[in-house]
């Protein structure tokens, strides 16, 4: 079974600063994908970034980047130049290629962005 | 392209009733997955439908069921509602290939009184 752990229930960052959200996962599979989703107060889950486990290069999407450490089973999200609109719940999730569309989510990290 | 849509957005039911939630995927997507989100249990996978067939199922009682139509729209049904079924129900669509990115709808907030 897969597990995803987010050990930071809440984080706070000042506008324009950088923050890193932590995530660890556990899987016995060799082929899997990792995701970060953002859930703002509207409750709509929005994809932030996706990482294929077979790729060594860390994924990047504009101000969002990941630090994927496969051996340590760690998948942290770095948000640079934080903006007020980044305030949301952030969920780390994983999926094994063998289980089709079954995402396993962590418990989430609530990110506050202050002026 | 239009995103994933879910109807209704809010529902209030009483214990013992049944409820049907609907999800329309992104055009061209053939897979629809359903998730339950509660403060206590977090986000949990309910089931996934692909080409009108249930392809994957989470650990929920048989009161939770679903189906998918030929146009890929999906419905989820919960019978004999319990207070603990109060949750945000999210559906997500994808192309349906292995580990495709899932795109989520806005959710249906179900309150059971």
Span B65-110, pLDDT tens digits: 999 999 999 999 999 999 999 999 999 999 987 778 899 999 999 9
Q: How far is the alpha carbon of A47 from chain B, nearest alpha carbon, in Å?
A: 7
pLDDT at B77: 98
> Which pLDDT band holds residue B20 (cuts at 50, 70, 90)?
very high
* Residue closest to B33 by CA, chosen among B80, B69, B68: B68
Residues of chain A contacting B39 with CB distance shorter than 8 Å: none
pLDDT for residue A100 is more than 70: no
CB contact under 8 A, A44 and B100: no
pLDDT at A28: 84
Q: Is A54 in contact with A74 (CB distance < 8 Å)?
A: no
Preceding peptide of B8 cis, ω within 30°: yes
């Amino acid at each position: 079974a897969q597990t995803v752990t987010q050990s930071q229930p809440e984080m706070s960052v000042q506008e324009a600063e950088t923050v890193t959200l932590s995530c660890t996962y556990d899987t016995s599979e060799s082929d899997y994908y990792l995701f970060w989703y953002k859930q703002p107060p509207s409750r709509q889950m929005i994809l932030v970034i996706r990482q294929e486990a077979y790729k060594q290069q860390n994924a990047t999407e504009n101000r969002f980047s990941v630090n994927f450490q496969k051996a340590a089973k760690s998948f942290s999200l770095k948000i640079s130049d934080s903006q007020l609109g980044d305030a949301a719940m952030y969920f780390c999730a994983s999926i094994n290629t063998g289980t089709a569309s079954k995402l396993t989510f962590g418990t989430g990290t609530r990110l506050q962005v202050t002026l | 392209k239009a995103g994933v849509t879910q109807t209704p957005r809010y529902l209030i039911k009483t214990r013992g009733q049944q409820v049907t939630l609907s999800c329309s995927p992104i055009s061209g997507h053939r897979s629809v997955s359903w998730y339950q989100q509660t403060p206590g249990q977090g986000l949990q996978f309910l089931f996934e439908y692909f080409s009108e067939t249930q392809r994957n199922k989470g650990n929920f009682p048989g009161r939770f069921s679903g189906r998918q139509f030929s146009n890929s729209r999906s419905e989820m049904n919960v019978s004999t509602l319990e207070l603990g079924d109060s949750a945000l129900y999210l559906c997500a669509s994808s192309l349906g290939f292995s580990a495709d990115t899932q795109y989520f709808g806005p959710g249906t907030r179900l309150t059971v009184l």
